Amino acid sequence: MALFCVKHSNTTASISVISDVLCQKNSSKFGDAYATFKRLGIFQVKDLANLSLTQVSQIPLGTDIDIIAVLYDALELYDKQCKMQLKNAHEEYENNNIVN
């Protein structure tokens, strides 16, 4: 069985980060994404990432959308946000702007 997103199969961040990304894209369409994830037992990013493509395609987040593409895009945006945060933290460290 192929996993939805192997890259995030160990990510323990709350699924709220993905629902936030979805809401930023379209709050009227994905406003209840967090509640839907919780109802389905998806509490962390890894819970979503470890689903099969068939399971992901059955997540009821809206009609007339490619849910696999939408959720994969949300995971990619989350990944970019994480990389940017890491880059910013590294720059702060390099510039001695970190307070102990």
Q: pLDDT tens track of the chain, all 100 residues?
A: 577 888 899 999 999 999 999 999 898 889 899 999 999 999 999 999 999 999 999 999 988 899 999 999 999 999 999 999 999 988 888 887 766 6
Domain that holds residue 76: 6-94
Residue 1 lies in a domain: no
Q: Global pTM?
A: 0.85
Look at residues 4, 9, 11, 36 and name the one whose alpha carbon lies nearest to residue 23. 36
Residue 85 lies in a domain: yes
Residue 42 lies in a domain: yes
The confidence score (pLDDT) of residue 20 equals 95
Cα dihedral 81/87/93/95 (nearest 10): -120
